[in-house]
Amino acid sequence: MDATFSQLAMLGSSLVLIFGLILLWRRRVPAYINAFTGQSIALAGVAGATGYFGNEPELYWVAAFLLVLKGAVIPALLRRMGRRFGTERELDPYVNTATSLLMAGLLVLFGYAVMRPLVATSQLPTRASIPLAMGLILVSLFVIVTRKKALTQIVGFLMLENGIALLAILGTYGIPLIVELGVFLDALLGFLVMQVFVYRIQETFQTMDIGQLSRLRH
Amino acid sequence: MTAAFVMAAAQGLLALFLAPGVVGLIRWLKARLQNRRGAPAWQPYRELRKLFQKEIVVSRNASWLFHLAPFVVFASTLMVAVLVPVLAAPLPVDRIGDLLVVVYLLLLGTFFLALAGLDPGSAFGGMGASREVTVAALAEPTLALAIFALARGAGSTNLGEIAARTMADPLSAVSPGHLLAFAALFIVMLAETGRLPVDNPATHLELTMIHEAMILEYSGRYLALIEWASALKLLVFFVLLGNLFVPWGLATALTPGAVATAAGALALKLGVLAVAVAVLETRVAKLRLFRVPELLSASFVLALLAVTSSFLLR
C-alpha cells in the first residue's frame, strides 16, 4: 500500500516537474499555457491520491479547486491574453535554452541536496518526492529571472505557486483548507494584478518585453 | 554453457538479418501514413544486394582510413548486437561487456564514421562529420546516464542482469526513473540513428543532413556495410528500448518454447516501436540544426533526473 502510494506520488511529482521544464524548452505562448494546464491537472492528481492514501478527505476539495481554478479558469484567462499577444515568442532569453535546461538539471540536484536532511528524518511515504517539489520551485524562480516576456514570467510565477502547493501536499498532507483557500485567492488576485500590468506594459511599449521597462529611467 | 554461447551468436546474427527489414518496415509505414504506396518492407535487402555487387569508387585523396572505417563501423555495431539481450537474458556472454562497453562500442563506430567523412576532404563530408560529432558529444553521455539509471535500480551494469531484475520486480517498470530514462533514451535513439527531428533519413540532398553527408563519398560494398551497420544500430536501440524497459517475453531459460515466445515478443516490440517512429516522423518537422543541442540537453536533463530519482527511491 505504502509502496504503491510512494510510487504514485513520485510519478505525479515527476510529471509536475517535467511540465515545469517544458517552459524552458518551448518558445510559444500556447505551449506554455498547455504545460501549465497539464501541470495543474497532475498536481490535482497528486492531491487526490494523497487524500485517498493518507485519509485526508479535505484534500479532495483541494484537488477539485486545483482542477477548476488552475486547470480551467486561469488557463482560459491566459489564453485570452495569449490571443492578444500570442505572436510574440520568447526569442532571446537572458540565458539560452540549452544552458537553461542544464541549469534546471543542476537546480533540481541542488533541491535534492537541500532537502536531504528532511527526507532522511521524515517517515512519510511521500518523502522521496519532496525534493522534486523543491526542484520545481527553484526551476520556476529560474524561469522568472531569466525570461524577458511578461507572459512567460506570469506562467513561471503560477508554476512556482504549484511547486509550493506540491511541497505542502507532500510534506504535510495539505495545510488546513481555509489556509489553502486563502492561498488560492492570493494566487488568483496576484495573477489578475499581473494581467493588468501586462496590458499596461503592452499599451505603453507595444510589446511584452520586460527589458523595455529600463527605458522608463530616461 | 556452449548452448548459451551459440544462443548469443545466434541472436547477434538474427539482429543482423532482421535490421534492414525493420528499416524497410518503418519506410513502408511512413509511406502508407503519407498516402503513398511505398516500397515493400524487404526493399532494403534488395538495395544491400545491389550495393554489394557494385564497384567501389574511391576519391584520389582518400587514405587507408577511408577503407578501414566501414569495417570498423560494421564490426563494432555487430559486436554490440551480440552483447545486448535480443532474445535471452542473462547469458554468460554478458560478462564480455556491460553497458559501458556497449555505449563506447557505439561511439567507436560514430568516431570512425566521422573520421571517414573528414578523410576525402570533401566539403559535405567535413560538415557532416562536425555535425555528427556535435550530436554524439551530447547524445553519448545521455545514453550512458539513461542506462545507468536502470543499472542503479538493478544493482548491476550488466544489461542481461538489468532486464532480469526488471522482470522480477514488475512495479519498477513504471517507476519515474524508468519512465524518464525511457524518454531520454528514445530521444537519443532518434538523434543517434539520424531519425527525423534531428536528421532526415529520406534524403541524400539537403544542406542540413548529417549522416548522409558523412557517407556521401562511399559507394559499392563499403556503402552497403555502412548502411547495414546503421540499420543494425537502429535495431540495437529498439532492442535496448524494448528489452531493458519492457523485458517481458525475454527467454530466461534456453528451451525451444521460451525462445519461440521471445522471438514473438521481440517481433511485437519491434513492430510497436517502428509504428511509433513512423507516426512521429510523419507528424514532426525537422528541427533547425541550432535547436538540436537544445533537444539533446533536454534529454540529458531527463536522464539526469532519472538517475537522481533512482538514487532517492532506494
Contact B305 A25 (CB under 8 A): no
A21 touches chain B (CB under 8 A): yes
Q: 10 Å Cβ neighbour count for A161?
A: 23
In chain A, the number of structural domains is 1
A130 touches chain B (CB under 8 A): no
Taking the C-alpha atoms of residue B310 and residue B270, their distance in angstroms, rounded to an integer, is 27
Residue the block writes with cell 538493478: B154
Q: What is the mean pLDDT of residues B110-121?
A: 90
Please determine, for residue B19, whether its predicted confidence score (pLDDT) is greater than 90.
yes
Q: Which residue has the higher pLDDT, B98 or B234?
A: B234
pLDDT in tens, B46-101: 999 999 999 998 888 888 999 999 999 999 999 999 888 888 777 777 777 788 88
Q: Which residue has the higher pLDDT, B202 or B46?
A: B46
Asked which of A51-55, A160-164, A212-216 is least confident by mean pLDDT, the reply is A212-216
Chain A residue nearest residue B138, CA to CA: A98
A14 touches chain B (CB under 8 A): yes
Lookup: cell for B145: 546516464
- Print the domain residue range for A33: 2-217
Of how many residues is chain A composed?
218
Q: What pLDDT does B149 receive?
A: 86
Optimal mutation site among A13, A97, A118, interface B, most CBs of chain B within 10 A: A97
Contact B309 A10 (CB under 8 A): yes
Q: By percentage, how much of chain A surpasses pLDDT 70?
A: 96
**pTM of the predicted model, to two decimals?**
0.86
Q: Say if residue B90 is preceded by a cis peptide, omega within 30 of 0.
A: yes
Contact A131 B175 (CB under 8 A): no
Residue B158 Cα to chain centre, angstroms: 18
